[in-house]
């Protein structure tokens, strides 16, 4: 073939500036495009071999080489795929791709925002012109007697094609980088991009630098492979004083290491994967040296193809940011991280990989938003996660409990964000109680009712299973009552019964679920609870206050109360009817005294006969006021106001405690002021940290009290 010159279609004059602008933000994507073209070419050649249309050389090993040449400012991609003839280059590259680009222009000529453009169009090969002024293709087709072809285009409107000199079947693409893109000729930068997009491509990828000095390594002679290039055989004599045979070693040309893992773990059958493999994969991909807690291997063929592994990372403290990474792949080709349209938002705290060949390779976020298929993928993933958690809860409770503290923020977040997920896993939500045992809400309620002697009607919490069972029982009754009623009628009757039942339930006072937000600070209340055989659940995470609201909205029969919200009836003695008047008088006196001594006319003071007579004073703040305060603090509505809880908390004095008794009987004592203040501070300290002035006064007073002991 002589030199063939051609003109690209008229419209294409505008193509290159647009291509350059198109993926400006994802500049490096050309590497992915060129390498996946090489992978495709290799897959096609393997198919031809299988179909008997081509016979592969014995020693054929599929590979893609990437060679950077910073001196010449070039970047080469060499594959040993099926190659192209001159006609094919003309057809696939010059005509089809250009006409594709023309379509692209047509479609998007009025749309100028990047988001609308990015990813809508797989420009494939032509993305090379984002970074190169000139591109060469050298290709030799697998076809018998094929002649190699050399194609040159300088990114303008012309190309040139002539016979080439390529000897091996395959294609070599050479990019002459433009001045803005020289970074890609840097070996480290190229490696970075390859690792980002091509770590799991189905073909081995080798990166090298042109004219680099040959590197060597020394290995045991026994480990030498046929493919190794041995430059020297070495015999290592044992060192002086050491015994043993001389060691036979070989100096070989350093074996190239593929940048891609062509059989990623997610593609394997879950039953063939070991724990070590999962952990190693996790460390390699997410560079997180902490062990993940556990993982879910997704493997689905129908109704769509999806494989992947989702890891639950270890979240140590509530201060750790819980931001995960979900990498999305299409047939082992990386698409992007954290595409929130495909991955349900609450799963973004996980780390994982998802390979879904049915998704478009060039994912456009805006196009995905309303895509029914994409929504289905997201639903499937969320369902699988719920199934796994429920499965563990049922069959591997021990580990489930062990992981609970780590996974609970995530699960709770999931409940808040995704109603379906919340419904699915509600039975697997655990609550740590005061003994640090894990209970379900149902179990807690059951225990609480037992403790208060109210054992009947345990199913007050929303629980479809028990309601269903009740419904079935009712159905039998109704059937017996009305032998001739049709199934439909029966069902209606049941529904009416169930509604009637739950309405009756609603009239009941909600059951209090007590909770602790800070075990240390609220230790005094915990002690009192424990002594009276009362239980509470520990909810210390930031997300818990939102989660409590969520639970209350869904279960009208329960109400969450922080352990210091009120003095629970079981913690105090009733005042005898005959003593009531006397007790009221005492209360009034104490209120007056404390208000005076603490110089606060608005101070709320209550006197109770607490069963635990080791407690002299404590503070309570109603759940409602506390939540209101927390909300205001969250929205920073506090302004300059003192947002501490002390201002509104009620001081509870224990009439059974000797100190309180002393105060009542010795109001004129010289130390009375000191005692009142100390009792107040001691109560408040269990509520919230004292402010600096309060703390200073408290410490000073405590010292004074000790000084009195020395006298």
**Subset of 500-529 contacting ligand ATP (CB under 6 A):** none
Residue closer to ligand ATP by CB (options 173, 618) is 173
138 in contact with ligand ATP (CB under 6 A): no
Residue closer to ligand ATP by CB (options 37, 331) is 37
33 annotated as ligand-binding: yes
What is the rounded CA–CA span in Å between residue 308 and residue 288?
Answer: 18
Q: Do residues 395 and 307 touch, judged by C-beta distance below 8 A? A: no
Instruction: State the minimum distance, in angstroms, from the CB of residue 79 to ligand ATP.
Output: 5
54 in contact with ligand ATP (CB under 6 A): no
**Subset of 15-34 contacting ligand ATP (CB under 6 A):** 33
**Subset of 81-100 contacting ligand ATP (CB under 6 A):** 81-82, 84, 92-93, 97
What are the structure tokens assigned to 295, written together?
């993982």
Instruction: State the minimum distance, in angstroms, from the CB of residue 86 to ligand ATP.
Output: 13
Span near ligand ATP by CB under 6 A; candidates 66-74, 119-127, 219-227, 530-538: 119-127
37 annotated as ligand-binding: yes
What is the rounded CA–CA span in Å between residue 515 and residue 522?
Answer: 10
Span near ligand ATP by CB under 6 A; candidates 120-128, 379-387, 471-479, 685-693: 120-128
Find, among 194, 193, 189, the residue nearest to 206 by Cα. 194
What is the rounded CA–CA span in Å between residue 252 and residue 299?
Answer: 41
What is the rounded CA–CA span in Å between residue 705 and residue 673?
Answer: 12
Span near ligand ATP by CB under 6 A; candidates 79-87, 390-398, 419-427, 616-624: 79-87
Instruction: State the minimum distance, in angstroms, from the CB of residue 172 to ligand ATP.
Output: 9
Cα dihedral across residues 492, 497, 502, 506: positive or negative: positive
**Subset of 152-181 contacting ligand ATP (CB under 6 A):** 171
Span near ligand ATP by CB under 6 A; candidates 76-84, 614-622, 654-662, 700-708: 76-84
Instruction: State the minimum distance, in angstroms, from the CB of residue 93 to ligand ATP.
Output: 5
Find, among 261, 41, 38, 204, the residue nearest to 128 by Cα. 38
What is the rounded CA–CA span in Å between residue 623 and residue 518?
Answer: 15
Residue closer to ligand ATP by CB (options 122, 427) is 122
What is the rounded CA–CA span in Å between residue 240 and residue 217?
Answer: 25
Instruction: State the minimum distance, in angstroms, from the CB of residue 117 to ligand ATP.
Output: 14
373 in contact with ligand ATP (CB under 6 A): no
What is the rounded CA–CA span in Å between residue 240 and residue 331?
Answer: 56
Instruction: State the minimum distance, in angstroms, from the CB of residue 41 to ligand ATP.
Output: 3
255 annotated as ligand-binding: no
202 in contact with ligand ATP (CB under 6 A): no
Residue closer to ligand ATP by CB (options 93, 660) is 93
Residue closer to ligand ATP by CB (options 76, 424) is 76
Based on DSSP, count helices (H) and strands (E) in the chain, helices before strands.
21, 24
What is the rounded CA–CA span in Å between residue 519 and residue 434?
Answer: 9
Instruction: State the minimum distance, in angstroms, from the CB of residue 184 to ligand ATP.
Output: 18
Question: 374: Cβ–Cβ under 8 A, 6 or more apart, which residues?
Answer: 341, 342, 359, 368
What is the rounded CA–CA span in Å between residue 538 and residue 540?
Answer: 6
Reduced to 3 DSSP states, what percent helix, strand and coil does the chain have, rounded to the nearest 5? 45, 20, 35
99 annotated as ligand-binding: yes
Shortest-Cβ-distance residue relative to ligand ATP:
124
Cis peptide before 303 (omega within 30 of 0): yes
Span near ligand ATP by CB under 6 A; candidates 116-124, 499-507, 576-584, 702-710: 116-124
Q: Could you tell me where the DSSP H helices lie in 65-220?
A: 86-88, 98-108, 114-117, 187-198
Span near ligand ATP by CB under 6 A; candidates 74-82, 181-189, 245-253, 639-647: 74-82
Q: What is the DSSP letter of 572?
A: B
Residue closer to ligand ATP by CB (options 190, 441) is 190
Q: Terminus-to-terminus CA distance in the chain, angstroms?
A: 116
Beta-bridge partners for 234: 249
Q: How many residues does the chain have?
A: 711
38 in contact with ligand ATP (CB under 6 A): yes
Q: Is 152 exposed, middle or buried (0-12, 13-18, 19+ CB in 10 A)?
A: middle
What is the rounded CA–CA span in Å between residue 63 and residue 361?
Answer: 22
Beta-bridge partners for 216: 253
Q: Which of 70, 124, 264, 344 binds ligand ATP (CB under 6 A)?
A: 124
Helix (H, G, I), strand (E, B) or coil at 50: helix
Beta-bridge partners for 512: 559
Span near ligand ATP by CB under 6 A; candidates 77-85, 506-514, 519-527, 634-642: 77-85
Residue closer to ligand ATP by CB (options 81, 119) is 81
Residue closer to ligand ATP by CB (options 159, 529) is 159
Q: Which of 28, 79, 544, 597 binds ligand ATP (CB under 6 A)?
A: 79
64 in contact with ligand ATP (CB under 6 A): no
Residue 427: count of CB within 10 angstroms of its CB: 15
Instruction: State the minimum distance, in angstroms, from the CB of residue 395 to ligand ATP.
Output: 44
Span near ligand ATP by CB under 6 A; candidates 37-45, 199-207, 323-331, 485-493: 37-45
100 annotated as ligand-binding: yes
41 in contact with ligand ATP (CB under 6 A): yes
84 annotated as ligand-binding: yes
Span near ligand ATP by CB under 6 A; candidates 122-130, 203-211, 407-415, 607-615: 122-130
What is the rounded CA–CA span in Å between residue 205 and residue 201?
Answer: 8
Cα–Cα distances (Å) from 292 to 44, 192, 289, in that order, read: 38, 25, 9
Residue closer to ligand ATP by CB (options 79, 418) is 79
Q: What is the DSSP letter of 613?
A: T
Residue closer to ligand ATP by CB (options 82, 494) is 82
Instruction: State the minimum distance, in angstroms, from the CB of residue 92 to ligand ATP.
Output: 3
62 in contact with ligand ATP (CB under 6 A): no
What is the rounded CA–CA span in Å between residue 435 and residue 536?
Answer: 9
Cα–Cα distances (Å) from 369 to 153, 352, 360, in that order, read: 38, 21, 13
37 in contact with ligand ATP (CB under 6 A): yes
Instruction: State the minimum distance, in angstroms, from the CB of residue 370 to ligand ATP.
Output: 23
H or E stretch including 231? Answer: strand 230-236
Instruction: State the minimum distance, in angstroms, from the CB of residue 141 to ligand ATP.
Output: 9
- Contact positions vs ligand ATP (CB under 6 A): 33, 37-38, 41, 79, 81-82, 84, 92-93, 97, 122-126, 171
Binding residues for ATP: 33, 37, 79, 84, 99-100, 171, 365
Binding residues: 33, 37, 79, 84, 99-100, 171, 365
């Amino acid at each position: 073939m002589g030199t063939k010159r051609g003109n690209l279609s008229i419209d294409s004059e505008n193509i290159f500036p647009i291509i350059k602008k198109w993926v400006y933000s994802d500049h490096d994507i050309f590497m992915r495009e060129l390498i996946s073209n090489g992978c495709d070419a290799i897959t096609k050649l393997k198919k031809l071999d299988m179909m008997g249309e081509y016979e592969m050389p014995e020693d054929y090993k599929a590979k893609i080489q990437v060679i950077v040449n910073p001196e010449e400012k070039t970047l080469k991609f060499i594959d040993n795929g099926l190659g192209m003839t001159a006609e094919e280059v003309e057809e696939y590259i010059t005509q089809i791709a250009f006409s594709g680009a023309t379509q692209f222009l047509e479609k998007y000529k009025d749309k100028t925002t990047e988001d609308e453009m990015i990813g809508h169009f797989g420009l494939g090969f032509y993305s090379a012109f984002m970074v190169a002024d000139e591109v060469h293709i050298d290709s030799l087709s697998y076809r018998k007697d094929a002649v190699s072809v050399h194609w040159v285009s300088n990114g303008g409107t012309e190309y040139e094609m002539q016979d080439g000199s390529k000897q091996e079947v395959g294609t070599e693409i050479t990019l002459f980088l433009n001045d803005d893109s020289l970074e890609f000729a840097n070996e480290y930068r190229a490696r970075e991009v390859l690792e980002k997009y091509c770590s799991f491509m189905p073909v081995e990828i080798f990166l090298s630098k042109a004219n680099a000095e040959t590197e060597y390594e020394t290995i045991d002679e026994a480990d030498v492979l046929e493919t190794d290039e041995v430059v020297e055989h070495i015999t290592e004599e044992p060192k002086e004083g050491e015994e043993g045979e001389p060691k036979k070693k070989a100096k070989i040309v350093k074996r190239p290491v593929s940048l891609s893992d062509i059989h990623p773990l997610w593609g394997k059958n879950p039953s063939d994967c070991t724990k070590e493999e999962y952990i190693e994969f996790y460390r390699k991909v997410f560079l997180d040296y902490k062990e993940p807690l556990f993982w879910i291997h997704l493997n689905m063929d129908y109704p769509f193809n999806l494989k992947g592994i989702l890891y639950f990372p270890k979240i140590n403290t509530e201060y750790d940011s819980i931001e995960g990474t979900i990498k999305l792949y299409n047939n082992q080709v990386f698409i992007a991280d954290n595409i929130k349209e495909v991955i349900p938002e609450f799963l973004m705290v996980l780390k994982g990989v998802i390979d879904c060949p049915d998704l478009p390779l060039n994912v456009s976020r805006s196009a995905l938003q309303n895509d029914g298929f994409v929504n289905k993928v997201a639903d499937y993933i969320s369902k699988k996660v719920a199934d796994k958690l429920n499965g563990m809860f049922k069959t591997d409770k021990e580990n489930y409990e062990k992981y609970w503290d780590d996974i609970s923020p995530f699960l709770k977040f999931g409940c808040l964000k995704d109603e379906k997920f919340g419904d699915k896993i509600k039975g697997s939500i655990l609550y740590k109680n005061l003994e640090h045992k894990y209970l379900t809400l149902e179990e807690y309620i059951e225990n609480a009712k037992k403790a208060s002697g109210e054992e009947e009607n345990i199913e007050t919490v929303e629980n479809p299973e028990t309601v269903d069972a009740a419904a079935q029982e009712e159905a039998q009754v109704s059937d017996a009552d009305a032998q001739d009623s049709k199934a439909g009628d029966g069902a209606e009757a049941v529904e009416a019964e169930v509604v009637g039942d739950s309405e009756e339930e609603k009239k009941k006072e909600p059951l209090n679920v007590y909770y602790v937000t800070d075990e240390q600070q609220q230790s005094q209340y915990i002690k009192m609870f424990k002594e009276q055989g009362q239980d509470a659940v520990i909810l210390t995470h930031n997300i818990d206050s939102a989660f409590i609201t969520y639970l209350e909205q869904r279960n009208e029969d329960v109400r969450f109360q922080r352990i210091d919200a009120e003095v629970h009836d079981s913690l105090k003695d009733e005042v005898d009817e005959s003593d009531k008047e006397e007790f009221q008088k005492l209360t009034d006196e104490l209120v007056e005294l404390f208000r005076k001594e603490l110089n606060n006319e608005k101070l709320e003071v209550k006197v109770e006969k607490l069963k635990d007579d080791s407690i002299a004073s404590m503070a309570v703040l109603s759940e409602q006021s506390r939540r209101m305060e927390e909300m205001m603090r969250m929205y920073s509505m506090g302004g300059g106001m003192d947002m501490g809880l002390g201002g509104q908390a009620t001081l509870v004095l224990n009439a059974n405690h000797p100190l309180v008794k002393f105060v009542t009987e010795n109001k004129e004592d010289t130390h009375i002021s000191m005692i009142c203040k100390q009792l107040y501070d001691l109560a408040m300290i269990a509520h919230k940290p004292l402010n600096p002035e309060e703390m200073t006064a408290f410490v000073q007073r405590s010292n004074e009290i000790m000084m009195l002991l020395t006298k």
